[in-house]
Amino acid sequence: MRRAANNRQLTIVIVLLGLVSAAYGSPLLEAFLGAGQKLAPAINLEDGWGRPFLRSGVFACLSTLIFLPSSLFFALLVKDCSKYLRGFLALLMMPMLMGGVALAFIIKLDTMRMNLVTTAIANRAFAPTWGLMLLAQGWQVVPLFLYLFWFRLQLVPERVLRFARASQLTPWEYARDIYWPHTRNLAGILALLGAALSFYEFIKFHLVLRASPGGGTELASHWLLRWYSSYATVDPNYATQVTLAMSAVGVLIAVVVALLAVLVTVAGLDWCLRRHPRALLPWRVRDPRIADAVALVAILATMAPLLGLARYFRWGVFIDLGEFFRSVTLSVAAASVTLLLSIVLGVCVRILLRRTMEKFDSRSAPLFGLLYFLQMVPPIGVALCGYHWLAKLGGTTTWVPLLWLVSQVIVSLPLTASFVQVSHFRVSTRELEFQESSRVGFSDLMWHSFLRRFGLDYGLVAIFGFSIIWTEATVNSTLSSLSRSIPSVAVELSQRVDGRGASYQQAANLILVTLVPVILALALWTFDLRRRKVFSDKSRNGLLGRRMEG
Amino acid sequence: MLNKRGWLFVALVAVAALVFALFWWGARPRETTTLTLLGEDTATMQAIESVKGEYETKRGVKIQCIKNTFEVLQQKANADLASGTGLYDIILNYNFSLSSFVRHGWVFTLRDLHEIDPRVGTSDFEKDIFPNIWKEVGFYKTSKDSEPQAIGYPFAGNTMLLVYNKKLFEDPRNQESYRAKYGHELSPPASWAEFRQIAEFFTRPSEKTFGVVLEGAGGGWLYYEWINFAYSMGGGVMKKQFGWEGDVYTPLIIDSPETVAATKYYLGLRPYSAGDFLSTGQNEQAELMRSGNIALAIMWSDVIYSLVHSPNGGRFGFSPIPGGKSQIGGGIYYFSKKSKQKKLAVDFVLFLMQKDTQRKLMEHGLCSPLRSAYDEPGVDKIPYAAALRQALEKGTYMAEAGPDADAVQEAVTLAVQRIARGEVSAEEGLREARVNLERKRAEIFNLAK
**What sign results for the dihedral spanned by CA atoms B378, B382, B386, B391?**
negative
Q: Give residue B391's identity as a one-letter amino acid code.
A: A
Distance from CA of A502 to the nearest CA of B (A): 7
**Residues of B whose CB is below 8 A from A128:** none
Closest Cβ–Cβ partner in A226, A233, A451 for B100: A233
CA proximity to B140, closest of B387, B405, B317, B365 = B405
pLDDT-wise least confident of A43-52, A502-511, B138-147, B410-419: A43-52
**Residue B294 β-bridge partners:** B210
Contact B8 A504 (CB under 8 A): no
pTM: 0.90
Residue A96 pLDDT: 92
The DSSP output letter for B30 is P
What backbone phi and psi angles, to 5 degrees, belong to B154? -65, 135
Q: Does A123 touch chain B (CB under 8 A)?
A: yes
Contact B444 A234 (CB under 8 A): yes
Residue A282 has pLDDT above 60, yes or no: no
CA distance B316 to B164: 6
**Residues of A whose CB is below 8 A from B83:** 387, 390-391, 395
**Residues of B whose CB is below 8 A from A341:** none
CA distance A108 to A110: 5
- pLDDT digit string (tens) for A370-397? 777 777 888 888 888 888 888 887 766 6
Residue B174 pLDDT: 95
Q: Does B209 touch chain A (CB under 8 A)?
A: no
**Residues of A whose CB is below 8 A from B18:** 329-330, 332-333, 336
The DSSP output letter for B251 is P
CA distance B3 to A550: 18
**Residues of B whose CB is below 8 A from A476:** none
Task: Tell me the average pLDDT of chain A.
Answer: 84
Closest Cβ–Cβ partner in A215, A216, A401 for B23: A401
**Residues of B whose CB is below 8 A from A215:** 218, 278, 417, 421
The residue with greater pLDDT, B261 or A273, is B261
The residue with greater pLDDT, A112 or A59, is A59
- B window 148-207, beta carbon within 8 A of A: 205
- B window 66-95, beta carbon within 8 A of A: 66-72, 74-76, 78-83, 85-87
- A window 341-400, beta carbon within 8 A of B: 380, 383-384, 387, 390-391, 394-395, 397-400
**Residues of A whose CB is below 8 A from B81:** 236
CB A246 within 8 A of CB A224: yes
Which of B5, B24, B279 would best serve as a mutation to test chain A binding (most A beta carbons within 10 A)?
A: B279
Closest Cβ–Cβ partner in B71, B82, B85 for A236: B82
Q: Does A47 touch chain B (CB under 8 A)?
A: yes
Distance from CA of B250 to the nearest CA of A (A): 17
- pLDDT digit string (tens) for A447-497? 888 888 888 889 889 999 999 888 888 888 777 767 666 767 888 888 889
Mean pLDDT value across residues A172-179: 85
How many helices (H) and strands (E) chain B has is answered by 19, 12
Contact B306 A503 (CB under 8 A): yes
Q: Does B418 touch chain A (CB under 8 A)?
A: yes
Distance from CA of B390 to the nearest CA of A (A): 24
- B window 128-147, beta carbon within 8 A of A: none
Contact B78 A209 (CB under 8 A): no
Contact B414 A213 (CB under 8 A): yes
Residue A320 has pLDDT above 90, yes or no: no
Residue A314 has pLDDT above 80, yes or no: no
Closest Cβ–Cβ partner in B22, B96, B447 for A238: B447
Which of A47, A212, A231, A405 would best serve as a mutation to test chain B binding (most B beta carbons within 10 A)?
A: A212
Q: Does B312 touch chain A (CB under 8 A)?
A: no
Distances (CA, A) of A156 to A161, A165, A182, A539: 7, 13, 7, 11
CB neighbour class for B377 (10 Å; exposed up to 12, middle 13-18, buried from 19): exposed
Contact A500 B303 (CB under 8 A): yes
- For B375, other C-beta atoms within 10 Å of its C-beta total 12
**Residues of B whose CB is below 8 A from A112:** 275-276, 284, 287
Residue A527 has pLDDT above 90, yes or no: no
- At B254, is the secondary structure helix, strand, or coil? coil
Q: Does B219 touch chain A (CB under 8 A)?
A: yes
The DSSP output letter for B395 is E
Beta-carbon contacts of residue A97 (< 8 Å; ≥ 6 apart): A463, A464, A467, A471, A518, A521, A522
Mean pLDDT value across residues A91-99: 92
Low-confidence ranges of chain B (pLDDT < 50): 1
Contact A477 B82 (CB under 8 A): no
Residue A316 pLDDT: 67
**Residues of A whose CB is below 8 A from B9:** none
Distance from CA of B83 to the nearest CA of A (A): 6
Residue A5 has pLDDT above 60, yes or no: no
A-B contacts (CB, under 8 Å): 223
Mean pLDDT value across residues A518-533: 84
Q: Does B293 touch chain A (CB under 8 A)?
A: no
CB B159 within 8 A of CB B329: yes
Residue A543 has pLDDT above 60, yes or no: no
Contact A233 B217 (CB under 8 A): no
Closest Cβ–Cβ partner in A112, A240, A495 for B284: A112
Residue A152 has pLDDT above 70, yes or no: yes
**Residues of B whose CB is below 8 A from A233:** 96-97, 99-100, 403-406
Distance from CA of B119 to the nearest CA of A (A): 31
Mean pLDDT value across residues A516-540: 75
Q: What percent of chain A has pLDDT over 70?
A: 88
Which of B69, B106, B248 would best serve as a mutation to test chain A binding (most A beta carbons within 10 A)?
A: B69
Residue B28 pLDDT: 60
**Residues of A whose CB is below 8 A from B243:** none
CA proximity to A341, closest of A411, A432, A425 = A411
Residue A45 has pLDDT above 70, yes or no: no
Residue A542 has pLDDT above 70, yes or no: no
Residues in chain A: 550
What backbone phi and psi angles, to 5 degrees, belong to A108? -60, -45
**Residues of A whose CB is below 8 A from B405:** 233
Q: How confident is the model at residue A544 (pLDDT cuts 50, 70, 90)?
A: very low
- pLDDT digit string (tens) for A68-85? 999 999 998 898 888 889
What backbone phi and psi angles, to 5 degrees, belong to A110? -65, -35
**Residues of A whose CB is below 8 A from B404:** 233-234
Residue A75 pLDDT: 93
Lay out the sheet containing B316-320: strands in order across. B209-212, B293-300, B160-165, B316-320
Q: What is the set of domains in chain B, with CATH numbers? A: 34-158+329-396 (3.40.190.10), 160-328+400-447 (3.40.190.10)
